[in-house]
Amino acid sequence: MKRVCALCGRETDVLIEGLCPDCYRKTHPLARVKRDFVGIVRCPMCGSINYRGRWVRDEKVIKKLILESIEPLGRVSGMEIEDLSLRPSMNMVKVTLRGSVHDLIPEYTEPISVSVRYTEELCPRCRDLALERERAVLQVRSLIPLSDSIKNLVLSIIRNEVSRSAERGSIVDINEVSSGFDVKFTDQGLARAVAYKIHSTIPSRISESQSVLRGRGERTVTKLSISLILVPINRGSVVMVMGKPYYVLGYGQGTFKAVDLKDGIHTRLKITDMVKMGVTVPNYDVECVERGSARVLRVIVEGNEYIVSNAC
């Protein structure tokens, strides 16, 4: 009697639940992944992996965690991870399974993909060590969104200052946040040197405060917090302060020279006031044009035209 597969219609010697071995395999995977994704958390300082709430200093648990998420649906005799190079955030890890889903089918290999979310986080031991060493924190923020070039400038100043005074101390941690950077230092003098170098390079307001970590009298251990608020604009920028447009002519000693575009009056904008009142950058266009016998600056801010003389 001829046996015919119910799915593909082919003749077959072996029929399993009405299907040929190929169709049976296709409809019966060797295994399934139990979770939407496998979370891997690794400490960037010591390399420990968080394994079921415990921090284990053994990279092998990464494989273990991935393989544990696979539930065999047939007889699985081997599982192998092809390539395990994890990047921060989501990864697709390919696993090759070996085995068979039915006794009448000889062993074969079958791929399966596991989603792996990889993150880095200090383990409690390293966090304590970092806290113990952390003597100063520098918060760099910006009043207007930071461009990549300003970000790179800030980072290169930090790197240069730190490498110039390596004997003084080092950086515990540097974190990019939505509007700037948080930098932690082992040494307060180094934090100050970095902060003032950035302050003298980019228009900004600087302020500092000390807090007592522990101890008293001679043995007091303090932590320095420096706040640096950047206003990264320069000659030629147009900014809105309190709803009024200004054309920036220059900067020095905490003050911008600027033209109030509405009435054409030259004025000074103090950084400290700008930090209080806020600054935005509108859509604008600046161009030198001939007007009569003079060259004037034509500034278009959100559709309104302003003329500035003696600025070309």
Q: Please, which residue, 7 or 177, has the CB nearer to Zn ion?
A: 7
Q: Provide the H-helix boundaries in the chain.
A: 21-27, 60-68, 124-133, 148-164, 188-201, 271-277
Site for Zn ion in 42-101 (CB under 5 A): 43, 45-46, 48
Distance CA 308, CA 252 (A): 21
Interface with Zn ion (CB under 5 A), residue from 4, 7, 212, 294: 7
Distance CA 168, CA 41 (A): 32
Site for Zn ion in 190-219 (CB under 5 A): none
Q: Please, which residue, 20 or 228, has the CB nearer to Zn ion?
A: 20
Q: Please, which residue, 172 or 230, has the CB nearer to Zn ion?
A: 172
What residues does 141 pair with on adjacent strands?
Answer: 180, 229
Q: Least distance (Å) from Zn ion to the CB of residue 174?
A: 17
CA distances from 221 to 105, 132, 199 (A): 71, 10, 26
Q: Please, which residue, 43 or 172, has the CB nearer to Zn ion?
A: 43
Q: Least distance (Å) from Zn ion to the CB of residue 121?
A: 9
- Tokens encoding 88: 């921060």
Q: Please, which residue, 15 or 174, has the CB nearer to Zn ion?
A: 15
140, 181 contact by CB (below 8 A): yes
Q: Please, which residue, 20 or 157, has the CB nearer to Zn ion?
A: 20
185, 136 contact by CB (below 8 A): yes
Number of residues that bind Zn ion (CB under 5 A): 11
Q: Counting contacts by CB under 5 A, is residue 16 touching Zn ion?
A: no
Closest to 90 in 3D by CA, of 120, 117, 121: 117
SS3 content of the chain, % helix, strand, coil (to 5): 20, 45, 35
Q: Counting contacts by CB under 5 A, is residue 131 touching Zn ion?
A: no
Contacting range for Zn ion; rule: CB under 5 A; set: 76-84, 92-100, 119-127, 196-204: 119-127
Q: Counting contacts by CB under 5 A, is residue 6 touching Zn ion?
A: no
Interface with Zn ion (CB under 5 A), residue from 4, 8, 131, 294: 8
**Complete edge-to-edge strand list for the sheet that includes strand 265-270:** 238-241, 244-252, 255-260, 265-270
Q: Counting contacts by CB under 5 A, is residue 123 touching Zn ion?
A: yes
Q: Please, which residue, 48 or 204, has the CB nearer to Zn ion?
A: 48
Q: Least distance (Å) from Zn ion to the CB of residue 15?
A: 9
Q: Least distance (Å) from Zn ion to the CB of residue 212?
A: 27
Q: Least distance (Å) from Zn ion to the CB of residue 172?
A: 13
Q: How many CB atoms lie within 10 A of CB 160?
A: 12
299, 306 contact by CB (below 8 A): yes
Q: Counting contacts by CB under 5 A, is residue 297 touching Zn ion?
A: no
Beta strands 108-120; 38-42: pairing state: parallel
Q: Please, which residue, 104 or 312, has the CB nearer to Zn ion?
A: 104
Q: Counting contacts by CB under 5 A, is residue 105 touching Zn ion?
A: no
Q: Counting contacts by CB under 5 A, is residue 172 touching Zn ion?
A: no
Chain residues in the site for Zn ion (CB under 5 A): 5, 7-8, 20, 23, 43, 45-46, 48, 123, 126
